[in-house]
Every structure is written in C-alpha cells, then in structure tokens.
Amino acid sequence: MTSEAAKEIADKIDALEEQASQGSFVTHGRHDILTAAIGRPEHPGRVRAVGAGITIKQYFGSASRTSSIAPEYLQQLTQQIKDQLEDSITEKVTRRLMLSFSQMQSQGLALPPEPDVGPSAARVSTKESCVDPSGNDLDTGDSYKCGLYIEEYPSRLVALGRVYEGSTTIHNIPLLHDQVKVSVEEIRDVDAPIPVPTKEVKVVGQALNTFLAWPTHLVKRLSEQGAVRPAKPADRPDDEVDDPLYLMTLTIPQLFLKPLQVMWDATLFGLFNENFPLYIKHEDLSEIAHGGQCLSISVIQLWILHMTETSMRAGNIDVYGFLEPQSIQRSGQSQFESENYIKNWMQNSKRDVYLGAYLNGAHWQMVVILPKENVVIWFCSLHNKPDNYLKGIINSALKGLDDTQQSKSKTPARWIVVKCNRQKGSTECGYYVMHWMSTIILGNFQNNWEMYFTDPRPLEPERLKALRNQWAKYYLKVKNET
C-alpha cells in the first residue's frame, strides 16, 4: 500500500471517529470504522491481516460466556419489550374472538352481541372463481372434505374445505402436477399465509368461499364428522404464548449475552468450508420484531435454510437449489470467486432451478436461474433493471458449464424481468424476497414465470406479518434444537 493510500485511509478513520462521537455513524457487527475506511468488509470466518488459514476462534479464542450487562438492565429491557407488544396482542385476541364467532355461526349456534370493535368479517369475493354461496358445490361427497395445511413443524391445519380432484385449471391457469383445486369453507387461522397466493387472496382470512390451488401434500381428507366438529376451546388463556414474535422477542436479552450459532450444513448451498458460520444476533431479532428495518444477511440465510427444509418435505429438493447470499455479494469476495462458486455449485448439484437472494447496496433482489434452459428470471421490488455486476457473474458462470451437460451454455443467457410485487416503503425488500421464495417452492414453479408473476401490487400488511411470524417460528425451532 502506498503512503498516499495509507494517509487516505487514516483520514477516513479520523472522519469516521468524529462521526461516531456525534452519533452520525453507528457500527454494526463487522461493519466497524476500520471496515468502512478500507471499503472492503472482512470475509466471514476470517481475521483481517493474519492470513486465510486462521479462523476467528483460533485468533481471538473462545468467546467469554460472561456479560457486563447488569441484570437490572436486562430486566428493564424485557419489560420494555413486553410493553411494546401489548397492542399487537390485544389485536390478535380480538381477531381470534371474531373467528370463534364465525365458527359458532357456521354451526348454527347463537352468537353473543357483536362487539363494537374488531376487524371486519372475512371478505367474500364476487368474482366467477368463487364458490356458489348457495352451497351447490361441484362435489358434495364426504370423501371430498379436506383439511388445508401449511408448512410448519409439523404441518399445521389452517382451514377446512373441499378438494376437486378432477379439476385441471384454477382461474383459467393450468394446475401444476402437485397441486389440487380446493375451496375454503371454514377458517381456522385468519393470519396464515396462503401457500399459492393470488392477486385477491394472500392470507387464509381472505379465502372464505373461494377456489384456490393448494399443494397436494398439504391437503388431507377428512370425514364429514371431523370437518364440522366444534372448534376445541383454547387450553391456555394467555394468547401471547402462541405468538411466535412475542416468544422470539423474549430471547433478545439472551442474544445480548451471546449470539446464537446455528448448526447448519453449508454443503447444502455448495460451500465446503466447515468454518463458514451462521450467527443470529440480537440485532437480527430486533429487525424481525420491528418489521420496518432492512434485513441482514443472517436473517436471509436462516430463511433460506428454512426454505431448504420446506423443499425437502415437499419432495422437490432435487428440483430446487439455493445460492448462499454472502457468496454472491459484490463485497467480501472477488468477481471470480463468486462466478466460480455459482458455476461449481450448479455443475455438481445439477438442479433444475436455483434461487439466489442478492443484496445490492442496501436493497434485496432475487434471481432464479434455470441452467438447463439458459434462462435467468429477475425479481426486484423496486422494479429496477438487473444489476450489471451480478448479471455478468451469472452469464459467465452459465457459459462455463460443461458443454456435454449444457448444450446451450455458450450462448448468452436470456434474462426475463417479471412483473412482480412492488414495495411501497423503503425497507421491506427482504420480506419480498422471502415471499417470492416461499411462493415458488410451495407452488413448485418451474416455467411460465411471466404468466404466474403478473401482480405489481405491494404485499398486504397481513402477508408481511405472516412472513415475520414464520421466520420467528423457525428461529425458535432452531434455537430449541441448538
């Protein structure tokens, strides 16, 4: 490094220290003053200036298990978190009461006086794709009654309905081979996300008396007796015990003391580095709890791990692969390293579809790569054009694939920009990537991308909250297993 370059970095350090003292520059994890001054983040698992063979643990030693945070402060922090959640808990209690009233009405039971406050009843669409409200369904046999589930641990019942196995289309769009046409007749969870959402229906609370496509493995037949049995009263009076976001926030003080190290198999994403860590910090939980902050790479990494397990349970793990987001970023590794990673991962795993979350500055975007078709699908919640840096890396990786396996790999890849959801805020881009990944995996989308992704409207607040709940629930599962 020349003396001029060293002086420039030293000047930047002085300026950043001054900004930090004034509160205009805030360090965050590895993004400290030195990293900002140099302009190149530290590579995960490495220590700057001591060589590539030395890990963080080898250089610094094991992290101390003690904390300098006073117990009184932790108690105060926990109380503040509880206070901030009171409004959301009250809202959820009201929503569940209204759901209970709906179920009582469907069973012919007398209703208590209608409360003055609370959400409106579930919307019933009047479009031609809806169930006839008179009750003249296409099939009335008991054998067609079904329970509708979503992917959780284990899968969770969110609605009761009817399955139409003979149908091959839904809303004039052909059903995929692992989907069936269903109608929703009774709602069990108004906030649960629809596995294959439509323009009109994003959460189960919007799906009453509508036709939907539903993943076959998440539809289970019920007898008529099982379908109409009264809902079981809640065993626990405290509604917050079922709220994943609430339970997640209670663990924030623990992560102040020590981040959670997630035990993951990095080879699932084409990485063969046993020292490639995944840590969840208290800042990550705060981002999910707040709901209005840009998501960190760690949050997206954990979501991708969740989507991988979801793909395994859905039986399409041989179809979908995921790119590890840190390994394709502009910072932290060279363009050659990113290109080589993508090429080797696709060459060795030979999946049909690869999904990659890409952090472009402070904005999350997504690519879907179809190497056998030499096609790349671009998703951006700001409707920006494909990033030239990432486009060059992917195009080069596709061209470098083995010609004996990919006869089209030497021709330029075809990029398709779909008409995807457009965010209306400035920080929710990470949730849009999470939504698209979930939609593709559960919908088993492999082609006709421009036909399926045609809705530019922003995601509903209910859908964004459902994604936060889903992330929190998976985090709690991982934490309990660690």
Inter-axis angle of helices 297-314 and 429-443, nearest 10: 10
- Tell me, yes or no, whether 110 and 137 share the same domain: no
- Tell me, yes or no, whether 38 and 171 share the same domain: no
- Tell me, yes or no, whether 158 and 212 share the same domain: yes
Residue 244 lies in a domain: no
Residue 275 confidence (pLDDT) = 67
Which of 208, 233, 258 is the endpoint of a domain? 233
What residues contact 273, with CB distance under 8 A and at least 6 apart? 45, 266
Which of 233, 258, 282 is the endpoint of a domain? 233
Q: What is the mean pLDDT of residues 36-42?
A: 67
- Tell me, yes or no, whether 17 and 32 share the same domain: yes
- Tell me, yes or no, whether 367 and 404 share the same domain: yes
Tell me the pLDDT tens digit for each residue of 422-432: 999 999 999 99
Task: Look up residue 457 and give its two tokens.
Answer: 């409207």
Cα atoms found within 13 Å of the Cα of residue 252, Cβ hemisphere only: 27
Residue 243 lies in a domain: no
Tell me the pLDDT tens digit for each residue of 45-80: 555 555 555 565 555 555 544 445 666 766 777 776
Indicate whether 323 pLDDT > 60.
yes
- Tell me, yes or no, whether 190 and 149 share the same domain: yes
Contact 367, 356 (CB under 8 A): yes
Q: Phi and psi (nearest 5°) for 299?
A: -65, -45
Contact 214, 182 (CB under 8 A): yes
Residues of the chain with pLDDT > 90: what percent? 37
Residue 407 confidence (pLDDT) = 47
Pairing of strands 179-187, 211-215: antiparallel
- Tell me, yes or no, whether 366 and 282 share the same domain: yes
Task: Look up residue 90 and give its two tokens.
Answer: 């009250």
- Tell me, yes or no, whether 39 and 75 share the same domain: no
Full residue range of the structural domain in which residue 78 is found: 70-121
Tell me the pLDDT tens digit for each residue of 96-110: 555 655 555 555 544
Asked whether the CA dihedral 16, 20, 24, 30 is positive or negative, the reply is: positive
- Tell me, yes or no, whether 113 and 147 share the same domain: no
Average pLDDT, the chain: 77
- Tell me, yes or no, whether 281 and 151 share the same domain: no
What residues contact 9, with CB distance under 8 A and at least 6 apart? 37, 38
Q: How many structural domains compose the chain?
A: 4
Indicate whether 224 pLDDT > 60.
no
Residue 239 lies in a domain: no
Confidence of residue 113 (pLDDT cuts 50, 70, 90): very low
Which of 12, 44, 62 is the endpoint of a domain? 62
For residues 457 and 289, give the distance between their C-alpha atoms in angstroms, rounded to a whole number. 24
Residue 240 lies in a domain: no
pTM strictly above 0.85? no
For residues 444 and 215, give the distance between their C-alpha atoms in angstroms, rounded to a whole number. 8
Contact 433, 366 (CB under 8 A): yes
- Tell me, yes or no, whether 315 and 463 share the same domain: yes
Q: Phi and psi (nearest 5°) for 40?
A: -145, 110
> Which among 361, 400, 399, 403 is positioned nearest to 380, based on CA atoms?
361
Q: What angle do CA 248, 77, 261 make, to 5 degrees?
A: 45
**Farthest-apart Cα atoms in the chain, separation:** 84
